[in-house]
Structure 1
Amino acid sequence: MPFERELILGGQRSGKSRRAEMIAVGWLAADPAHDAVLIATGQPHDAEMRERIARHQADRAVRVPGLRTVEEPRALPATVAALSAPGTLVVVDCLTLWLTNLTMPLQGEPADAGGAAASLVAALRDARGPVVLVGNEIGLGVIPMGREVRAFVDALGQLNQAVATACDRVTLMAAGLPLTLKAPA
């Protein structure tokens, strides 16, 4: 793996997770001592989401059998720090759901998106091994009507920009095809 951190952005069903999985496959194949762990941020709040999570788990088990999964919907910076090691690839899927969990919790008070982003960037900069992050790019469409939705789109755009500064590589996925936005020098 020629880089330490990659941010993979794209729309829904653009191939983001598949690209992250293929990076994990390559990482695991490169050295038998390598380990890979996925930090899953989605929460099964309804039947459709439970089905979606189950489908992702089943697909991942076939495509990347050596990829362990840790479910962590909120404490992402601490989890990245705890799991990061020189021989371990950490895959985060996905930043968008993590931000949703923080800023629009079903219970409790919303967290400060800017502070959360800063904590994640610090964890990425301190990571002792490679990290691949998956997130949605949702700011390419029309401006949302509701104030809360506009605030979320803004917060996600700011999170993506902050994470991109801490990554060596940034890839935009569209129709299953990668477009490199930032590459190591």
Structure 2
Amino acid sequence: MSEGDDPAAQWQRMVQNVNEAMAESVEQNMEMSAAFMESWADAMEDSVPDQETLASGVEGYNNAYEVWMDAAEQTFERTTDAAEGDEVAPAEFRDIWLQSANEAFKEVMSTSAFAAANGQLVRAMMDLREQTDEVGEETLAELGMPTQSDVEEVGERLVELERRQHRVEEKLDRVIEALE
């Protein structure tokens, strides 16, 4: 603000800046909520959850949404306080949103829908790992190199040979004792 501006123009610019910041904050909140809901829907896309799981997921999302709306309200209140001349540290805004993000994620992560989605993700990751292991084994076999299965088989045979050798040694010890 320049020194030549009258107080009314300064106030108008400050209120406009606060309004723009609040609108941007609400827009970001809505974008984050939409992105979250979209990723949640994508995770649940491959299966139709039972009624209880679906209800749990919707309740968790609604609770998370309330947390986001409370954060938007707190941000608006602190912005209004700042516009009225109160000293408001920028870190307060960051803290409001960080705390709200933690609470919102906690609301969602505690649902059976989230647990089901995580179960599906883990299952998919295990399937992918199994497929990757199979491709690796096939590639090593085609290159004429020993695979993990080959090494494990050799190890098992070696252990069995050691057991047999031990039994033969025991029999030899008994024969030697009988001959003496």
Same fold (TM over 0.5): no
Q: Greater Rg, structure 1 or structure 2?
A: 2
**Greater percentage in helix:** 2
Provide the TM-score with structure 2 as the length reference: 0.24
Higher relative contact order (CA 8 A, sep 6+): 1
Instruction: Give the number of the structure whose residues are more often strand, by fraction.
Output: 1
